[in-house]
Amino acid sequence: MKIKEIISVLEEMAPLAYAEDFDNVGLLVGNQESEATGILVCHDALENIIDEAIAKNCNLVVCFHPILFSGLKKITGKNYVERSVIKAIKNDIAIYAVHTALDNHQEGVNKIFSDALGLVNTKILIPKENFIRKLVTYTIPENAEEVRNALFDAGAGTIGNYENCSFNSKGIGTYMGNENSNPQVGERFEFVQGDEIKIEVTFEKHLENKILKALFKSHAYEEVAYEIYDLQNKHQNIGLGMIGELKNPMKEKEFLLFAKEKMECGGIRHSNFTGKEIKKVAVLGGAGSFAIKNAIQAGADAYLTADLKYHQFYEAENQLLLADIGHFESERYTKNYIVEYLRKKILNFAVILSEENSNPVKYL
């Protein structure tokens, strides 16, 4: 199996188009045409992780955080990033990062976080905007089913828990071909008027090229009439953070102790207690200070995230319990999820969970 085949599976799990614009996801180091010997899954692709990959005969390291985030002007081994990259290249080890591509997935980082806390009735906290487009096309009734099915197979027409969604309306189409035309119906220079079906489907914007290829291949007309629109709708199943409910409400201190145990935290920093019971809980793995207001607006009783600064605790405004449980801790089960996913999709192949703890933060 080549590395590029494994990448295809990883992109099914966490499409790169879901990643934030600032992020650096995908294949960071290595040749995708190389034959894979094994996959080591980790949180951070540090130098000791590369050593582990060498020892376990894995030439593909799949990490959550990208070891290469900003540009490198020199690779001299002067810091941990450069040393990891140098060792990976010298030993023909590829590095692939998922990061916010998995953060934004409805089954990704924040669903894993929510599941660890036992939250139910979960939904995305900050749905992704400007991600949905609409295709409108027209064809003869005899061709409509073929076109629809081709568009569905290419990924169009999925809305939440429903697939094969479209809107179809009948109308009258007209055209007249010139001397270079080869019309499916009628002759050159003939004014044609006939029944047509208008087909409308929505799709995620990164699928546009695939959907247009399917449209052109399945359409009966020589010249395909179509329109594509950007929609203002938010994508309810893609985005950052998640909010859900505890099955049984808890007192604030009880809830923090519960979260500390479930997420295996070395410690939790939190805002003042509000005196309210905790029922509705918002979570965002990693640095999530930007979503404090979103958690408040969503009616959360508590918001768990990481990397909060001193003044950001004031932003709780006594409206919710704000807790910093640690960056690594908030994402700690992500690598387990990746391993389980790959083992289900790639049978009889070595997919290994790293034994190294890459958390740089230690607690007394």
Annotation-wise, does 65 bind a ligand? yes
CA 350 vs. chain centroid, Å, equals 24
Which among 104, 95, 93 has a CA at the least distance from the CA of 13?
104
Burial class (CB in 10 A: 0-12, 13-18, 19+), 210: middle
Is 327 annotated in some ligand binding site?
Answer: yes
Residue 270 annotated as lining a ligand binding site: no
Inter-residue contact 35 to 56 (CB < 8 Å): no
Q: Is 331 annotated as a binding residue?
A: yes
Task: Encode 289-325: b = buried (16+ Cβ within 10 Å), e = exposed.
Answer: bebbebbbebebbbbbbbebeeebbebbeebbbbbbb
Find out whether 67 and 84 touch, Cβ atoms under 8 Å: yes
Q: Exposed/middle/buried for 68, CB within 10 Å: 0-12, 13-18, 19+?
A: middle
**339-342 long-range Cβ contacts below 8 angstroms, 24+ apart:** 339/41, 341/13, 342/6, 342/9, 342/10, 342/13, 342/39, 342/41, 342/62
Write out the two tokens for 192: 């044609």
d(CA 204, CA 285): 24
**What letter would DSSP give residue 264?**
T
Distance between CA atoms of 360 and 307, rounded to whole angstroms? 13
Fill in the amino acid letter for 206.
H
- 8 A C-beta contact, residue 202 and residue 132: yes
Q: Give bridge partners of residue 202 from the DSSP assignment.
A: 134
* CA-closest candidate to residue 282, choices 308, 258, 309, 301: 301
* Residue 68 half-sphere exposure toward CB, CA atoms < 13 A: 21
Q: Which residues are annotated as a binding site?
A: 65, 103, 327, 331
Q: Which residues are annotated as a binding site for a divalent metal cation?
A: 65, 103, 327, 331
